[in-house]
Structure 1
Amino acid sequence: MKTPPTGAPPYWADAKKHLRSVDPVMSDLIDEYEDPPLRSHGRLFETLTRAIVGQQISAKAADAIWNRFITTVGEVIPDRILKTSTDELRAVGLSGRKVEYIQNLANKGDWLKQQNWSVLSDADVVKTLCTLRGVGPWTAEMMLIFTLMRPDVLPLGDIGVVRCIEKLYANGNRLAPEQLTKQAAPWKPFRTVGVWYLWRHLDAEPVLY
């Protein structure tokens, strides 16, 4: 597998310029939350593990569990996961199902490394990752954004993103998926960056998976 990129995306400046030109709401968000940009640490397994931890719980709860998780496990690599007992993993606050998912992911560590993710389309990355137990579209999209740093990802399974679009663009009214997609269409081909600024609006502390 080609080594995932690290640091800030090369498209960031172009993306901000584009978003400013097509969306005054996004322009205001960029002014308010200028730096730092999205960054990747390039650790695919860690990104997927953290995304599983964060499934269907609040960001605050996910951060608390993650901090206990890394205190218990140490370096987030398959070998360390497999050497940590189920009881120890449950003790950090993970459900039994999430422990099972993370252990299964650790057993697939070599398979993850063997995939040539960089040549796959966004849709094919999601399709391939969703063959793993416990990995759905949202979890796969976190890898697209935070490990592969793909520029045009719109994770409609992220309730924070959905509610933020509804608040900023629809006076808090609920929007159907097709309406959300239409609202974000002007951000193309940089919807990832639009999503990043929505996350910053929800929490000024930069998101990292």
Structure 2
Amino acid sequence: MDSKRAYGALAQADPVLAELIAQYGTPDPFEFHDGGRTAGSNFAAMVLHILGQQISTRVAFILYDRLADVLGGTPTASSVAGLGPERVKALGTSRAKAVYLADLADRVRTGSLDIERMDHLTDEEAVEALVAVKGVGQWSAEMFLIHQLRRADILPAGDVGIRKAVAAAYRLDGVPGVDEVRERGTRWAPYRTFASALLWSYLSVSTAALSKA
């Protein structure tokens, strides 16, 4: 994916994004900060995404590392299925997430979800396949499409960070709703993943600056 072309197109399409690019640069939207834990495995990456729902990244890594340690390496569908929900829960995660991981493992193990080979699917088809897994919602599926499938035109409009960044960057009176963000983002196609990365970067820098003020 040509990052220079993508950000160049965004700058031409939207003067606000052009200003953000000038100030905050061109972040890599596909970078996955897992510390090498998932070893390029889409299944293991989704395990980490599920464990990380509604908790901090630091805690998610702790839970993932406990799971990998018990399994003796990078989680696979067979090893997670063999462990079972109760033993996964005993590692410190919630019962719900243990059930979600069991369902993910079962679907991958039986072939109903070919998670390692999804490149032939459209964005819509990939999201549909992923959200069929218990506990995998739109946001988790979109994160997977960005970081694992490296799709260029994903806008997680329901993400609170994206909505806050849009409110600040466009000087809105309040945080916009999901539909408003999607509508505003139509001009960013086919590079909405890059626009999302830019908005996240802007929010992160702005938040850090405010905390030091």
TM-score range, shorter chain: 0.7 to 0.9
Aligned to 2:135, what secondary structure does the other structure show?
coil
Distance 2:30 2:160 in 1: 19
Give the aligned residue type for 2:163: V
Deviations 1:71-107 (A, max 9, x none): 2122233344345564554355522111110122122
Aligned to 1:132: 133
Q: Secondary structure at the match of 1:117?
A: coil
| Offset of residue 167 of structure 1 | 2.3
CA contact (8 A) 2:86 2:98 kept: no
- CA offset at residue 46 of structure 1? 2.5
Q: Equivalent of 1:66, from 50, 53, 60?
A: 60
* Identity of matched residues, %: 26
Q: Which residue of 1 aligns with 2:188?
A: 187
How many pairs are equivalent?
A: 191
The answer on 1:98 being equivalent to 2:97 is yes
- What is the identity, as a one-letter code, of the residue corresponding to 1:179? E
Greater shift in the superposed pair: 87-96 or 148-157: 87-96
What letter is aligned with 2:51? V
Q: Distance in 2 between matches of 1:105 and 1:114?
A: 10
Counterparts in 2 of 1:141-180, with a 5 A limit? Answer: 141-180=142-181
Q: In structure 1, list runs of 5 or more residues that go unmatched.
A: 1-9, 205-209
How far residue 178 of structure 1 moved from its aligned partner, in angstroms, is 2.6
Aligned to 2:208: none
Find out whether 1:12 has 2:6 as its counterpart: no
CA distance in 1, matches of 2:104, 2:45: 11
Amino acid at match of 2:65: T
Mapped contact 1:11–1:151 kept (Cα < 8 A): no
Instruction: Report the TM-score when normalising by structure 2.
Output: 0.76
Change (3 A) 1:156 1:23: same
Q: Given the superposition, is the C-alpha separation of residues 201 and 83 from structure 1 closer, same or farther in structure 2, using an over 3 Å criterion?
A: farther
> Aligned to 1:156, what secondary structure does the other structure show?
coil
1:29 aligns with 2:17: no
> Which whole-Å CA distance do the structure 1 matches of 2:92 and 2:25 have between them?
32
In structure 2, list runs of 5 or more residues that go unmatched: 33-38, 69-73, 206-213
Tell whether the 8 Å contact from 2:84 to 2:102 is kept in structure 1 after alignment: no
